[in-house]
């Protein structure tokens, strides 16, 4: 495919991201590129990226690309789960000269965006628009101070951030629009002594991090290598020493609960860590250790990966970076030991690697995957990394729990489920639907609840959808969460929904009733469900929605039943997305159908099951009595 593109664009300026080729080009991951002079124009620009994740690093450097009348962006290895990367041109002046835009797939897994303009136009704008399309057209802004990046591989610290300012290693940071170009500077350093800054123009002292090459086993093995301050094992033992995981693309989406292939090994092959199964390489990781969405896609049918530390690849930073990427994607990892030089994993993630679950048991395997992904995303995601580097932590979002009930005897249980939620900020809007607040059970439950609580009294004749809308009107959170009064919720239920929102970009996040307790016959069923995907429906008692999206579609319809289904239909019709995350933190309680607004017969829940147990059998992640512990 590369040859065909080169033949079509013989005079184009070529830029590479994650691609190894002998063509004359600028490698954006290796070459220190200075901004093009204002007078320097080129007619055509070709950007070759190996994967969408590699393209996002190129987007970080978009200001360094020249102006051109034709810009071609080719991504050579795109997972099938990605939609067509159709850029969305903004109405700003930079797109007014667009005359032709073609998005096509010349061969399997390859996407090409070809944009033509009537006047020279910044090529980087087409790159950022294409990268944004791969990530679901989300606003690509990292919640952290405006950053300047300098040095080889520095773009990996701000993946997909078009607001970053590239700078020379010696400074200064270029100004932009009459203001300093950044609030913080990060520069990567190689083997040579750190160059003295010429002038950082009032910026803070740069944060310095080693390149993967300077911390390679080859470099550490040279005389005096162990004495380098930036590669001292104690210094390397901090998570902030490695670039973050680009969670927009490297995340649990696409996780397979019933894999078709066996246990693989993470071993050294030709100087790089590779996943090997039955003697064949399934995927080989970049020398830098960066994990891409294409790498993860090739591992989804693997049951798990065992780490062989004895032959770790190019260096300690690159090795740990591979593991954090795989863990963030939910790839089940196991190890029998964790060496001292791998301390940048973080203590909790290292402990999870040593847990040794039974990966042949699908439930235990998924529980292990969820624990890994939670820890990796919260420790090694982009926002977390910049907080570790000193950026102020943003205020956690407030979630307003909408809890409507007609049953006085269930108010205490429902508030207990809300009270179990940890590591989140929430308030409760308790809608008493025909239930007097002075009822003994209700009053006792309200008194026992330790948290912000607003009481809404609704007449028993009030329509359910209107009751929910009134509860939402009294909420003050940026997220709304609809919970049911008789279902069980694990302590990380809301935290997991918010995490899924951060990496999926969907306006609604929830799950499906994967675990169902059939109270009338005392049976727990574990149903076959596909999770971690964009979907058309999630369970009504798990709907987490952005407040702005809720208001945009007018909230719930004024109906007595089917309000959840109708709301989700309206959201999708308006162009919104729904994401279904894992279902191990939620249990639907099912009694007689007449007691529920969703009136499916009990037999429905006895079909298509993965497991079925007598009695109450929640997953271990629920942390409830009766949980099946690994």
The answer to whether residues 6 and 23 touch, using CB atoms and an 8 Å cutoff, is yes
Q: How confident is the model at residue 609 (pLDDT cuts 50, 70, 90)?
A: confident
Q: How confident is the model at residue 41 (pLDDT cuts 50, 70, 90)?
A: low
Q: Is the dihedral of CA 374, 379, 384, 385 positive or negative?
A: negative
How far apart are alpha carbons 342 and 352 in whole angstroms?
14
How far apart are alpha carbons 590 and 601 in whole angstroms?
10
Asked whether residue 115 carries a pLDDT value surpassing 80, the answer given is yes
Of the segments 188-197, 222-231, 505-514, which one has the largest average pLDDT value? 505-514
Task: Tell me what the mean pLDDT of segment 250-275 comes to.
Answer: 94
Task: Tell me what the mean pLDDT of segment 33-51 comes to.
Answer: 76
DSSP secondary structure code for residue 176 in this structure: B
Which one has a higher pLDDT value, 557 or 219? Answer: 557
Size of the chain in residues:
630
pLDDT at 6: 84
Phi, psi torsion values for 483, nearest 5 degrees: -120, 150
pLDDT at 474: 97
Strand order in the sheet with 302-307: 280-284, 272-277, 261-269, 302-307, 333-334
Q: Which residue ranges make up each domain of the chain?
A: 2-140, 141-195+203-211, 241-388, 398-622
Task: Tell me what the mean pLDDT of segment 529-557 comes to.
Answer: 96
DSSP secondary structure code for residue 391 in this structure: P
Q: Which two tokens stand for residue 136?
A: 């679901």
Q: Which two tokens stand for residue 606?
A: 């006895």
How many alpha carbons fall within 13 Å on the CB side of residue 360? Answer: 0
Helices 123-134, 52-60: inter-axial angle, 10-degree rounding: 140
Q: How confident is the model at residue 40 (pLDDT cuts 50, 70, 90)?
A: low
Query: Which residues touch 219 (CB under 8 Å, ≥6 apart)?
Result: 191, 213, 225, 228, 231, 315
pLDDT at 630: 37
How far apart are alpha carbons 616 and 217 in whole angstroms?
52
Closest CA to 106 of 249, 7, 250, 12: 7
Closest CA to 452 of 485, 498, 421: 421
Q: What is the pLDDT of residues 376-387, one digit of tens each?
A: 999 999 999 999
Asked whether residue 435 carries a pLDDT value surpassing 90, the answer given is yes
| Three-state DSSP state, 229 | helix
Q: Specify the CATH number for 2-140; select among 1.25.40, 3.30.1490, 3.10.310, 3.40.50.
A: 3.40.50
Asked whether residue 296 carries a pLDDT value surpassing 60, the answer given is yes
Which one has a higher pLDDT value, 19 or 231? Answer: 19
DSSP secondary structure code for residue 289 in this structure: -
How far apart are alpha carbons 251 and 296 in whole angstroms?
9
Phi, psi torsion values for 170, nearest 5 degrees: -90, 0
How far apart are alpha carbons 102 and 50 in whole angstroms?
20
The answer to whether residues 397 and 478 touch, using CB atoms and an 8 Å cutoff, is yes
Q: What is the pLDDT of residues 234-246, one digit of tens each?
A: 556 799 999 999 9
pLDDT at 146: 87
How far apart are alpha carbons 603 and 527 in whole angstroms?
13
* pLDDT above 90: percentage of residues in the chain: 69
pLDDT at 30: 82
| CATH homologous superfamily for the domain 398-622 | Spore Coat Polysaccharide Biosynthesis Protein SpsA; Chain A (3.90.550.10)
The answer to whether residues 384 and 244 touch, using CB atoms and an 8 Å cutoff, is yes
The lowest-confidence range among 46-50, 225-229, 558-562 is: 225-229
The answer to whether residues 414 and 406 touch, using CB atoms and an 8 Å cutoff, is no
Q: Which two tokens stand for residue 360?
A: 């042949």
Please, which residues bridge with residue 508 across strands? 545, 578
Asked whether residue 43 carries a pLDDT value surpassing 70, the answer given is yes
The mean predicted confidence, pLDDT, of the chain is 89
Strand order in the sheet with 207-210: 165-166, 147-150, 184-189, 207-210
Asked whether residue 429 carries a pLDDT value surpassing 60, the answer given is yes
pLDDT at 593: 47
Asked whether residue 254 carries a pLDDT value surpassing 70, the answer given is yes
Asked whether residue 192 carries a pLDDT value surpassing 70, the answer given is no
How far apart are alpha carbons 356 and 337 in whole angstroms?
11
| Three-state DSSP state, 9 | coil
Q: Which two tokens stand for residue 44?
A: 């055509």
How far apart are alpha carbons 361 and 201 in whole angstroms?
58
The answer to whether residues 227 and 220 touch, using CB atoms and an 8 Å cutoff, is no
The lowest-confidence range among 287-301, 427-441, 612-626 is: 612-626
Strands (E), 239-279: 261-269, 272-277
The answer to whether residues 533 and 520 touch, using CB atoms and an 8 Å cutoff, is no
Closest CA to 589 of 627, 535, 541, 528: 541
CA-to-CA separations, 421 to 442, 494, 496, 609, in angstroms, rounded: 21, 7, 10, 28
How far apart are alpha carbons 246 and 450 in whole angstroms?
37
Which one has a higher pLDDT value, 99 or 144? Answer: 99
The answer to whether residues 75 and 85 touch, using CB atoms and an 8 Å cutoff, is yes
The answer to whether residues 584 and 490 touch, using CB atoms and an 8 Å cutoff, is yes
Q: How confident is the model at residue 197 (pLDDT cuts 50, 70, 90)?
A: low
- What stretch of H or E contains 458? strand 453-458
pLDDT at 222: 56
């Amino acid at each position: 495919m590369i040859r065909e593109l080169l033949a079509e664009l013989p005079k184009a300026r070529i830029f590479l991201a994650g691609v190894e080729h002998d063509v004359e080009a600028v490698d954006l991951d290796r070459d220190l590129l200075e901004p093009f002079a204002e007078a320097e124009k080129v007619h055509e620009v070709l950007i070759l990226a190996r994967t969408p994740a590699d393209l996002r690093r190129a987007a970080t450097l978009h200001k360094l690309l020249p102006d051109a009348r034709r810009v071609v962006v080719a991504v050579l290895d795109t997972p099938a789960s990605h939609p067509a990367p159709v850029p969305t041109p903004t109405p700003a002046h930079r797109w007014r000269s667009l005359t032709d835009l073609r998005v096509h797939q010349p061969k399997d897994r390859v996407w090409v965006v070809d944009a033509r303009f009537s006047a020279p136009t910044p090529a980087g704008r087409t790159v950022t628009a294409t990268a944004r399309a791969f990530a679901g057209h989300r606003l690509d802004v990292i919640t952290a101070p405006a950053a300047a990046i300098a040095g080889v591989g520095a773009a990996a610290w701000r993946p997909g951030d078009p607001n970053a300012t590239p700078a020379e290693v010696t400074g200064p940071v270029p100004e932009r629009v009459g203001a300093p170009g950044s609030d913080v500077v990060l520069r990567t350093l190689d083997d040579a002594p750190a160059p003295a800054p010429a002038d950082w123009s009032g910026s803070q002292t740069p944060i310095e991090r080693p390149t993967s090459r300077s911390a390679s086993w080859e470099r550490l093995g040279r005389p005096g290598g162990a004495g380098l301050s930036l590669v001292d094992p104690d210094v390397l033992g901090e998570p902030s020493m490695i670039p973050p995981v680009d969670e927009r693309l490297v995340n649990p989406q696409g996780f397979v609960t019933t894999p078709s292939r066996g246990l693989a090994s993470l071993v050294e092959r030709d100087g790089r860590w590779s996943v090997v199964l039955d003697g064949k390489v399934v995927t080989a990781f970049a020398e830098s250790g960066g994990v891409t969405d294409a790498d993860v896609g090739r591992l989804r049918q693997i049951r798990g990966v065992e780490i062989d530390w004895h032959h770790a690849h190019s260096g300690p930073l690159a090795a740990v970076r591979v593991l954090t990427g795989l863990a963030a994607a939910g790839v089940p990892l196991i190890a029998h030991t964790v060496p001292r030089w791998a301390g940048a994993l973080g203590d909790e993630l290292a402990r999870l690697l040593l847990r040794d679950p039974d990966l042949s048991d699908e439930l235990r395997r998924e529980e292990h995957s969820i624990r890994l992904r939670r820890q990796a995303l919260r420790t090694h995601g982009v926002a977390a990394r910049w907080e570790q580097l000193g950026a102020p932590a943003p205020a956690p979002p407030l979630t307003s729990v909408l809890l409507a009930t007609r049953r006085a005897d269930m108010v205490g249980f429902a508030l207990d489920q809300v009270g179990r939620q940890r590591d989140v900020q929430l308030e409760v809007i308790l809608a008493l639907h025909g239930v007097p607040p002075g009822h003994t059970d209700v009053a006792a439950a309200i008194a026992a609840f330790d948290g912000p609580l607003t009481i809404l009294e609704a007449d028993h004749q009030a329509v359910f959808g209107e009751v929910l809308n009134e509860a939402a009107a009294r909420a003050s959170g940026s997220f709304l969460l609809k919970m049911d009064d008789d279902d069980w919720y694990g302590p990380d239920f809301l935290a997991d929904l918010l995490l899924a929102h951060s990496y999926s970009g969907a306006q609604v996040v929830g799950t499906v009733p994967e675990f169902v307790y059939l109270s009338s016959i005392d049976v727990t069923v574990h149903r076959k469900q596909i999770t971690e995907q964009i979907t058309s429906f999630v369970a009504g008692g798990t709907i987490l929605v952005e407040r702005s999206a809720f208001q945009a579609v007018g909230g719930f319809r004024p109906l007595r039943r089917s309000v959840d289904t109708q709301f989700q239909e309206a959201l999708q019709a308006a162009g919104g997305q729904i994401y279904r995350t894992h279902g191990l933190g939620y249990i639907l309680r099912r009694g007689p159908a007449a007691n529920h607004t969703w009136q499916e017969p009990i037999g429905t829940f006895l079909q298509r099951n993965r497991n079925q147990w007598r009695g109450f059998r929640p997953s271990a992640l629920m942390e409830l009595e009766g949980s099946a512990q690994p």
